[in-house]
Amino acid sequence: MAISFDKLRRSIDDTKPPITLIYGVDGIGKTSLAAEFPNPVYLPTKGERPPSDVDIDIPGTLESWADVEAAFGFLLSGEHDYQTVIIDSLDGLAPSIERMTADRIGAASIDDNSKGSPASYGNGMKESEVEWTDFMDGCDALRAAGMFVVLIAHPEIKRFDSPLTDPYDRYQIGINKRAAPLVRSKCDIVAFMNKRVSIKEKEIAPKKSIAHAEGGKEILIHLNEGAGFVAKNRYSMPDSVVYRKGNGFAELSKYFPQSANDTAPTGAATRRKAA
């Protein structure tokens, strides 16, 4: 029986490490922040690699769904001392996941609109929710086993048709429109990284001025949704924190369940496996 009133647990007792999604523009520090989580292993997709100053274990590249299953299987049942798995990036992994969907439904691709295609009229994207759910279930299994899961993604700017305001553009994670909300819903933290920029007016002639940007050096980790981006957290975290390299995990982990941090070092992880 899935429901038992004889074995109650309190929601506040859920003290497993979070599934964290970090997204932001290129070069903002997403991978550097992820590498600060305790004892990480880095699983890149094709074309991704960590910055040259990040020393981290890389067992190979995720080139197919079979690679994802093999990596998750080892981390769940193999002997290792990793405490964090980093997947870089979701949009790099998307083609493998969507290829699985297309094969399952017998379509050339998930956006194939040719006559008679089982993917036409948006059905392919809808069907891809099955494979994305399987992927997030795997992430949740790693979390349940006591591992931090950090998902990295690149952003895209899309129009948001709010029912309360006029439409406007905002940043969101760059995967298909059916997968994005599903992934966000299953993450404990969705963090958007961007630089703090102020818009100033400068007068260039009488009664004529232009707007220009100032700042752009301080990096913020946004943890609650704003008008221009998607973000969230389940830990009563502030709207944003300043990211200083080497101190990002320490700043975020202040708000994690305490047991999730019992073995977590502060600052960047320095463990290296013995040869």
pLDDT digits (tens, 9 = 90+) for 149-160: 999 999 999 887
Instruction: Count the Cβ atoms, other than its own, within 10 Å of residue 145.
Output: 12
Q: Assess if residue 244 is contained within a domain.
A: yes
**What is the span of the domain harbouring residue 183?**
13-194+220-259
Q: Does residue 2 lie within any of the structural domains?
A: no
- Which of 13 and 181 is assigned the larger pLDDT? 181
- Asked if 243 and 184 touch (Cβ cutoff 8 Å), the reply is no
Residue 211 lies in a domain: no
Does residue 164 contact residue 158 with C-beta atoms inside 8 Å? Answer: no
215 falls within a domain? no
Mean pLDDT of 73-91: 95
Predicted TM-score (pTM) of the model is 0.85
For residues 200 and 88, what is the distance between their CA atoms, to the nearest angstrom? 36
Residue 212 placed within a domain: no
pLDDT band, very low/low/confident/very high, at 102 (cuts 50, 70, 90): very high
Angle between helices 90-105 and 123-144 (to 10 degrees): 120
Q: Which residues pair with 241 in a beta bridge?
A: 221
* Helical axes 90-105 vs 179-186, angle rounded to 10°: 120
Q: What is the pLDDT of residue 8?
A: 67
- In angstroms, the first-to-last Cα distance of the chain is 47
**Does the CA dihedral 22-27-31-34 come out positive or negative?**
negative
Would you state the pLDDT for residue 10?
Answer: 63
Burial (Cβ within 10 Å: 0-12, 13-18, ≥19) of residue 250: middle
The answer to whether residue 204 sits within a structural domain is no
Residue 59 domain-assigned? yes
Domain count across the chain: 1
Residue in the structure block whose two tokens are 């949009």: 91
Q: List pLDDT tens digits, range 109-135.
A: 999 999 889 999 999 999 999 999 999
Band (210; pLDDT cuts 50, 70, 90):
low
173 found inside a domain: yes
- At residue 30, the pLDDT reads 96
C-alpha count within 13 angstroms, C-beta hemisphere, residue 82: 28
Q: How many of the other CB atoms lie within 10 Å of CB of 223?
A: 21
Q: What is the pLDDT of residues 21-33, one digit of tens each?
A: 999 998 999 999 9
32: CATH: 3.40.50.300
Neighbours of 53 (CB within 10 A): 9
Each residue's pLDDT tens digit, 227-236: 899 999 999 9
